[in-house]
Amino acid sequence: MDKESRYFFWGLLLVAAICLLPFPGLSDFHTKGEPREAIMAYDMLADGHWILPLYNDGSVAFKPPFFHWLIALFSAVTGSVNEYTSRLPSALALLGMTLGCYAFYARRRGVMVAFMAALILMTNFETHRAGLNCRVDMVLTAAIVGALLLLYRWTERGLRGAPWGALVLMGVATLTKGPVGIVLPCLVTWVFVLMRGGRFWPTTGRLAAVGLGACVLPLLWYVAAYLEAGDAFLAMAYEENVLRFTGKMTYESHENPWYYNVMTIVAGYAPYTLLGLFALPLRWAGGWMGAWWTRLWRGLREMEPVRLFSLLAIVVIFVFYCIPKSKRSVYLLPVYPFIAYFLAEWMLWLWQRRPWVIHTFGTVLSVAAVTLTVVFVTVRLGFVPDTIFTGRHAAENVAFLHALETVPLNVGGFTAVAVTPILALGYLRDLLSRQRRRLPGMVMQPLIVAVGIYLALDGFYQPTVLNVKSDRAVAEAVNEIQPDGPIYEYVQRGAGRYFNINFYTGDRVLIFDKVLPERGTLVVGTADYREKLIPRFGDRYTFDLVLNSGHRSCDTKDTICVYRFHRRPAAE
């Protein structure tokens, strides 16, 4: 890196660290997916199941353990598995991917494009959300993207030698979620080399060798897992990696049509999809789209290599994930860094030819940021009545409102809330100045406003609201009712379990209808109790209500109740 590149690199590191590292622990777990992953690290540390971590009902985790190893490592250092240590691997993965993409594009496309692409990558909805989540997807994405960038460097060397860094990262990706971590980088690189004039069989042979080399690291775990669990492990791995792709799983798993992927990218790239709306008035023939498609159809092989590689990464990965019936928005995360690169180039093009589009986008973001602050102040002053909420979820919305109104605003929260309108008003002030509005740095100011919005959301607004959704308060009440020993759950109406309550009670929640205990404490939803539990077990057990929490579980969407129970004496 030259001096300018290093300057922007350290600036980006500072901004990314401020945006990502302080906030992962502020929100309690409030979805079933996060505690379900975190509890695997708890099992590793408590019971030593490092190869195949287990749920407390004896079932095996569906995913390979690398992500859980990271959680366990950070938790061992801090002394406990908690929200921060569980989300830290994702935050660090997004930070590393952001810096890696900056370094990659700064060398090949210029510092300004690279810096803007990095900010766009970090502040679009889908990647930012995944970077603050306790799920495997961001670690998988960072490993896949890192492998792709290193494989591109390998193509610059004429495929000579071994791409050792890429081999390690593909192995890590496979240990995070499965063989897709090897398939995608090799597939994109294979198509790229062929389109650049590479011969079919030599190229295929080299990429096949790379794929086999990347299998060495995960193969060690697969062998160890087979030796531990035998054919049951092979059946699970086959279903998760083969039957999921072919749509023949034994259960439905996020089945969606192909166009679902288009909608998730459009929604996932908010707020930057607004740029597309603002650019619609541009003339097709003379606008950026006409020029772009003209260049594209003149011949993809004539494109600059790094642009062609970025385009192919988007197209190949997108098409790949259109094939299986199982589709989720996070599956497409590996395309987001490459979309960010093209968005950065497009923003610079617009700045030179249609600056009003950038100014309109920045104005909308700034007005939204100021409006958010005004609404918060209005709520804080008690000017918003509870009666504005009606309907099915009125009580939950009122709870959100009261949380925003009453939760203490500490120094960190106040800073996060205050910086947003300051950045937004600063941009609007510069926009009104004829001298400043044409300065080159103005093209980046909307991205800085976006950073400010995320600081406010992550630093105060979201934790305040999402903690109301969490089942943690109910779990703490259950801990008082049953300080030690097993707790039981009964879930029938919705898929899954009370994962949040299980996490916050120390992995003590067992499945009632699997164990059928003599007596104990039971967590059950009101509808499950009335419609399922009593018709099935009412003649065999006596249930005494201990707690009606009035809280709608974030796991089962049913109001949680706690009962003491004991088995009825057998009839003589």
Mean pLDDT (whole number) for 508-522? 95
Digit-coded pLDDT (tens) for 450-473 = 999 999 999 999 999 999 999 999
Structure tokens at 92: 């660090």
Q: What is the DSSP letter of 27?
A: S
Check the CA dihedral 17-23-29-35 and report its sign. positive
Tell me what pLDDT residue 288 has.
46
**pLDDT tens digits, 115-161:** 999 999 999 999 999 999 999 999 999 999 999 999 999 999 999 99
Looking at residue 61, its pLDDT comes to 81
pLDDT category of residue 515 using cuts at 50, 70 and 90: very high
pTM over 0.85: yes
Give the 3-state DSSP-derived string for 405-463, with helices as H, strands as E and coil as C. HHCCCCHHHHHHHHHHHHHHHHHHHHHHCCCCCCCHHHHHHHHHHHHHHHHHHHHHHHH
Number of Cβ atoms within 10 Å of the Cβ of 308: 17
Cβ–Cβ under 8 Å, residues 64 and 174:
yes
Q: What is the per-residue pLDDT across 270-289, written as a single tens digit (0 to 9) for each?
A: 999 998 888 776 654 444 44
How does residue 437 score in pLDDT terms, banded at 50, 70 and 90? confident
Number of other residues whose CB lies within 10 A of the CB of residue 61: 19
- Distance (Å, whole) CA 243 – CA 256: 16
Give me the residue label for tokens 């034994």: 250
* Predicted local confidence at residue 286, as pLDDT: 46
Q: What are phi and psi of 319, to 5 degrees?
A: -65, -40
- The edge-to-edge listing of strands for the beta sheet with 487-490 is 509-511, 487-490, 519-525, 559-567, 541-552
Look up residue 110 and give its two tokens. Answer: 């210029």
Rounded to whole angstroms, the Cα distance separating 312 from 309 reads: 5
